[in-house]
Amino acid sequence: MEKIPTNEMNNGEGGIEKVETKVEKADLIKALAEKGLSDPETQEMLTRWTEEQEKYVESQPRPDAEIKFNIDRADLYIALNDVTGALECLEDARVQASQESRDDLYNQICDKMDEIEK
């Protein structure tokens, strides 16, 4: 029988310790869309996801990870039906992509902004 992974593991002293699992963006988007930011569990997921992403961005070469983080943040705003917030994140990403001469990301961001504004 396979052991099913959980968020808790035996700490070897008869007790249980909490093991943090990675927050998946898709799960966070679903929680935001269904429950909104007023739900404490969703707020916790958002905080953990943001902290995880910030650590990841800091560990990666500039500028791609920073730009993609803002694109991902826009998706969260979209889940909340906050078009203005999404467009602000994408505008930040677009400016940075332009400044860094990342035409591929710049074009991707422009397409996403056009889609949102329709």
Q: Is the pLDDT of residue 60 over 50?
A: yes
> pLDDT value at position 118?
85
What Cα–Cα distance (Å) separates residue 64 from each residue in 57, 74, 78? Answer: 9, 15, 21
> What pairs with residue 17 in β-bridges?
9
pTM, 2 dp: 0.78
Q: Is the pLDDT of residue 99 over 70?
A: yes
What's the CA gap between 118 and 111, in Å, rounded? 11
> pLDDT value at position 20?
58
Q: Is the pLDDT of residue 17 over 80?
A: no
